[in-house]
Amino acid sequence: MSNTAKLIRQTMTVARRDFTATVLTPTFLLFLLAPLIMLGFGAIGGVGAATMANSREKSVRIVAITDSTAAASMQAIDKRLRQVFRDRDAPPPLRIDTPQRDPAAQARAALDAKDVDVAAVLYGPIERPTILYSAQGERTASYLAELAEQTLRADATTLAPRSIATKRQVTRETVSIGGQGQAAFFTVFGLFFLTLLLAGQAVGTMAEERSNKVIEILAAAVPLESVFLGKLIGMFGVALLFLAFWGTIVFNVGTLLPPEMTRAFAATGPAVGFPVFILLFIVYFTMAYMLLGAVFLGIGAQASTPRELQMLSLPITIFQVGMFGLSSAAAAQPGTLLATAAELFPFSSPFAMGAKAANSPELWPHALAIAWQLLWVAISVSVGARFFRRGVLQSAGPKFRWAALMGR
């Protein structure tokens, strides 16, 4: 046999070995399906975010406080003017309120209403109205001014301006519905991002200790349950340090923001109030971390190579993306069957209940949710510890192959 033929034969032998070692494993199926699964759960996340945006838009209104004489004409003019807008560019729906004893106080109360988000309010004589608008309502204030102008011109023959509006931006004194929705979405995203980022470190630690045989030394010194729980608690301590570090930075940066930016975020906040919300955020982060960390450690112990570890962690990550999409959609639709399902499902419950703290001021559901999540944390830690023991004790055992499944 010539040297060239021998080289080709040896090369193909190595290639065949690597090919079969990669393809004839269960993790290769995950690799094949990964793009489809990621696209599916990515679509779920996108639908959740879109639902959140649409929900906020549907809750916004503009208000005109005027008597019945001008109300009918103004509504007709509003209907005609909206025909020049595309649906996504149209102003919020118009609401006509009857003037009370103090229209100025009535207008301010409308802006601070908790049941609907009011972007701008017009009150006073239609010839010289006053328009109050929120930080994001400057465009709607201009629309109300034009609406007043067109209402006066409806029966006039002159083209000269007939209505002169005074527009004033005001800062909302209470959190708006849209602001609660934004806080709910940021809560879901923050819990998802932090949990996935920090719990994933457990897999990296496992891979390192499996490769340098440290895990076998620990298993010989202490019970494997203690190794599992020690790793989980130790990595959680690292996560808390990370959270405290960046939380301190964000808080201090927030105090340095200019007043204009601070006023822009005045309407955004949780319904339960910031002190209680921060406490609940930490609790739900703990629950989510323990649930995911136990799964990562338990499954990570089944892999003996970094490649297998990476492939096994992929479905967990994709599953978490699905939980993010479900919780985002639930945050946009509080009180619905979808929201209840997300709050009850163990792996989405911490995210969905964090969003509920932003959307609803009630506190008693959180006590029930925390007890429910503690039960599932205990279950996941127990199951994860068993998988951990099995993976560590059988780390040198024979590998499962598709060929064995087919009887070869």
Q: What is the pLDDT of residue 407?
A: 44
What would the pLDDT profile of 162-200 be if each residue is shown by its tens digit?
566 767 666 665 666 666 777 888 888 888 888 877 776
- Contact by Cβ (8 Å): 293, 235: yes
Q: What is the pLDDT of residue 41?
A: 56
pLDDT of 49 > 60? The answer is no
Output the average pLDDT for the chain.
75
Model's pTM, two decimal places?
0.67
Using alpha carbons only, how large is the chain's radius of gyration in Å?
Answer: 30
Nearest to 291 by CA among 378, 365, 351: 378
Tell me the mean pLDDT in the region 90-95: 84
Confidence band for 28, pLDDT divided at 50, 70 and 90: low
Look at the block and give the residue holding tokens 């008693």: 364
Q: What is the pLDDT of residue 36?
A: 65
Total count of residues recorded for the chain: 408
* Enclosing H/E stretch for 246: helix 224-255
Q: What is the pLDDT of residue 400?
A: 42
What would the pLDDT profile of 332-384 be if each residue is shown by its tens digit?
778 888 888 988 998 889 998 988 888 888 889 999 999 999 998 888 888 87
Tell me the mean pLDDT in the region 69-78: 82
Q: What is the pLDDT of residue 25?
A: 62
Number of neighbouring beta carbons within 10 Å of residue 162: 15
**Burial (Cβ within 10 Å: 0-12, 13-18, ≥19) of residue 39:** exposed
Q: What is the pLDDT of residue 403?
A: 42
Q: Which two tokens stand for residue 7?
A: 């080289």
Distance CA 394, CA 307 (A): 18
pLDDT of 399 > 50? The answer is no
Q: What is the pLDDT of residue 405?
A: 43
| Residues paired with 63 in a beta bridge | 95, 121
pLDDT of 153 > 80? The answer is no
Tell me the mean pLDDT in the region 79-87: 80
Percent of the chain residues topping a pLDDT of 70: 66
User: Which of 47-56, 113-122, 249-258 comes out lowest in average pLDDT?
Assistant: 47-56
Higher pLDDT, 134 or 303: 134
Q: Where are the beta strands (DSSP E) in 9-93?
A: 60-65
DSSP annotation string for 162-198: ----EEEE---SS--HHHHHHHHHHHHHHHHHHHHHH
Q: What is the pLDDT of residue 124?
A: 84
What would the pLDDT profile of 193-234 be if each residue is shown by its tens digit?
888 777 766 666 666 666 666 666 776 777 777 777 787 888
Reduce the secondary structure of 335-392 to three states and give it as a string. CCHHHHHHHHCCCCHHHHHHHHHHHCCCCHHHHHHHHHHHHHHHHHHHHHHHHHHHHH
pLDDT of 241 > 90? The answer is no
Tell me the mean pLDDT in the region 233-243: 84
State the pairing for strand pair 117-123/166-169.
Answer: unpaired
User: What are φ and ψ of residue 256, in 5° steps?
Assistant: -95, -5
pLDDT of 394 > 70? The answer is no
Confidence band for 408, pLDDT divided at 50, 70 and 90: very low
Higher pLDDT, 134 or 143: 143
